[in-house]
Amino acid sequence: MSFLDTFFDGAVMAKYLPDLLGALVTTLWLSAAIVIAGLSLGLGLACLRTLGRWYLTLPIVAFADISRALPPLVVILVFYFGLPGLGIRLSGPMVLFIVLGGVLAAFAEEIFWAGLTSVPKGQWEAGRATGLSFMQTLFDIALPQAIRLGIPSLVNRALAITKMTALGSVIGVKEILSVSSSAQSFSGSATPLTMAALAYLAIFLPVVIFARLLEKRYT
Amino acid sequence: MLEINQLEKCFGATQVLKSIDLSVKPGELVFVIGPSGSGKSTMLRCCNRLEEPTSGSILLDSEHVTDCHGRALDKMRLKIGMVFQGFHLYPHKSVLANVMLAQVKALKRSKPEAKARAMEMLEHVGLAHKADAMPSELSGGQQQRVAIARALALDPKVMLFDEPTSALDPELVGSVLKVMKQLRQEGMTMLVVSHEMEFAREAADRVVFMDGGVVVEAGTPEDIFGNPKSERLRAFLSRLQPTTAA
């Protein structure tokens, strides 16, 4: 069998294209939801942490450390197969959204926090000395600088975690990897996997290029 | 105008300010000199509560600065302009936006109003043509003048200067001092911590010498530089350049 027949079989491609496109859409909206929720939650937690209250800081740091330490696959399996034992039944996409959104939030919180702590103290003093409140100083002066500093790491982390939507294949989410790997078993051809790779590129390559432009602009 | 009574400040077990009494009358320029570590900057920073005094009181126009909390403190700070050694312009905002920010957010001026006032103040410090520049594109002296405009735009009653020229290259110091001199002529009340002795002689109404967290001596520039009474002041002046110790 030739290389082309193995990886680029036209008949197989035509047959599974509709399924793959559906899966692409699923991966796309799941990724978008995870990125939006994860970054917003991470930003919110980092802002709460600036208040410097131990009863806020402690749970935030515990959440960030634990979520970053656990392999997401383990948590996904626990949520999907364990929680029903407690009467909590979540759909596959919901589990994926909660777990990966949470993990991204943990990383994002740390990145935003690192950015906030590297904003010089004088910036805060200049803001407060001109009559701005703590919140105004945070939102108008400290955060915009912290976000700019964090953009490269945030983009990398968001990419790494949205690619983990492929883990949905173990809990029956019809995303790109699960659809293509079942297509591969049915057809006996590796072509659906090639299609999966192309689908991932179609989603993430533009994001990577956009990220480069963003970094150029802000750093 | 600005009254400091029995101000004390401790950092942990170290007492850096010991019962400081100092008052600045309206339109007066009071100059604070002293060796580094004498507590000058800490004293200044207590005046707008960037440092929290351990005890004592600070009054601005008979209003207690030291009793304010939350929003009341933010409002009080609007009346007290501050210029820092390190300028602290917001690097992500244009010069114009730097001068507008607190006007809009804290004074609640409308944007056109704030912009007009900002341009007026930038004109005043000779930098209206840099309104659209970013702070990083300016020299240190220009940045400091923008910082002065940023403080002035809020119409403060008193201006605090914390070593405003110490971070500048020597050739840029003059431009900042010129703006300060101009402010003094316009009747701004100013409390200045600085090492620019020449400027103190020329422009100060009163000079205060601090050492070891206390006010050792205060008087007119002629008294302080021409006729120092305390041994500590004499020693301090003799350590300076011959031009200023003469």
3-state secondary structure chain B: CEEEEEEEEEECCEEEEEEEEEEECCCCEEEEECCCCCCHHHHHHHHCCCCCCCEEEEEECCEECCCCCHHHHHHHHHCEEEECCCCCCCCCCCHHHHHHHHHHHCCCCCHHHHHHHHHHHHHHCCCHHHCCCCHHHCCHHHHHHHHHHHHHCCCCCEEEEECCCCCCCHHHHHHHHHHHHHHHHCCCEEEEECCCHHHHHHHCCEEEEEECCEEEEEECHHHHHHCCCCHHHHHHHHHCCHHHHC
The average pLDDT across A163-170 equals: 93
Phi, psi of B204 (to 5 degrees): -75, 145
The one-letter amino acid code at A169 reads: S
Q: Do B48 and A130 touch (CB under 8 A)?
A: no
Q: Contact A203/A27 with Cβ under 8 angstroms?
A: yes
Q: What percent of chain A has pLDDT over 70?
A: 99
**Sign of the CA dihedral with A95 first, then A99, A105, and A111 last:** negative
Task: Report DSSP state, residue A70.
Answer: S
Phi, psi of B112 (to 5 degrees): -60, -40
d(CA B132, CA B122): 11
pLDDT, averaged across chain A:
92
Task: Report DSSP state, residue A175.
Answer: S
d(CA A130, CA B200): 26
Q: Contact B227/B54 with Cβ under 8 angstroms?
A: no
CB-based contact, A40 to chain B, within 8 Å: no
pTM above 0.90, yes or no: no
Instruction: Kindly list the residues from chain A whose CB atom is less than 8 angstroms away from the CB atom of residue B147.
Output: 126
Closest Cα in chain A, distance from residue B233 (Å): 31
Closest Cα in chain B, distance from residue A179 (Å): 46
Which range is least confidently modeled, A80-84, A170-174, B186-190, B242-246?
B242-246
Using alpha carbons, select from A192, A163, A175, A195 the residue that is nearest to residue A72.
A163
- Residue A1: pLDDT band (50, 70, 90) is low
Q: CB-based contacts of B156: which residues, under 8 Å, 6+ apart?
A: B78, B79, B80, B81
The average pLDDT across A72-94 equals: 93
The average pLDDT across A149-155 equals: 90
Long-range (24+ apart) CB contacts under 8 A made by A114-120 are A114/A149, A114/A150, A115/A145, A115/A146, A115/A147, A115/A148, A115/A149, A115/A150, A116/A46, A116/A50, A116/A142, A116/A143, A116/A146, A118/A146, A118/A149, A119/A145, A119/A146, A120/B86, A120/B88
Is the pLDDT assigned to residue A60 strictly greater than 70?
yes
- A-chain residue closest to B160, CA distance: A129
Q: Do B150 and A130 touch (CB under 8 A)?
A: yes
- B-chain residue closest to A218, CA distance: B92
The Cα-based distances of A61 to A36, A55, A57, A75, A76 in angstroms read 21, 10, 6, 18, 21
Is the pLDDT assigned to residue B126 strictly greater than 70?
yes
Is the pLDDT assigned to residue B243 strictly greater than 80?
no
Is the pLDDT assigned to residue B246 strictly greater than 50?
no
Residue B206's pLDDT is 94
The average pLDDT across B144-157 equals: 95
d(CA B59, CA B5): 8
- Residue A63: pLDDT band (50, 70, 90) is very high
Is the pLDDT assigned to residue A202 strictly greater than 70?
yes
Residue B245's pLDDT is 44
- Residue A216: pLDDT band (50, 70, 90) is confident
Closest Cα in chain B, distance from residue A146 (Å): 10
Q: CB-based contacts of A125: which residues, under 8 Å, 6+ apart?
A: B50, B84, B88
Which range is least confidently modeled, B7-16, B93-102, B125-134?
B7-16
**Sign of the CA dihedral with A117 first, then A121, A126, and A129 last:** positive
Closest Cα in chain A, distance from residue B1 (Å): 19
Hey, what are B57's tokens? 């009181």
Q: What angle do CA A110, A115, A118 make, to 5 degrees?
A: 125
d(CA A63, CA A71): 14
Residue B242's pLDDT is 57
For B62-113, how does the pLDDT look when each residue is reduced to its tens digit (9 = 90+)? 888 888 888 999 999 999 999 999 999 999 999 999 999 999 999 999 999 9
The one-letter amino acid code at B201 reads: R
CB-based contact, A91 to chain B, within 8 Å: no
- B-chain residue closest to A127, CA distance: B102
Instruction: Kindly list the residues from chain B whose CB atom is less than 8 angstroms away from the CB atom of residue A127.
Output: 102
Q: Where are the beta strands (DSSP E) in A19-176?
A: none
- Residue A12: pLDDT band (50, 70, 90) is confident
- B-chain residue closest to A125, CA distance: B50
**SS3 call for A120:** coil
Q: Which of residues 122-181 of A touch B (CB under 8 A)?
A: 122-123, 125-133, 136, 140-141, 144-145, 148
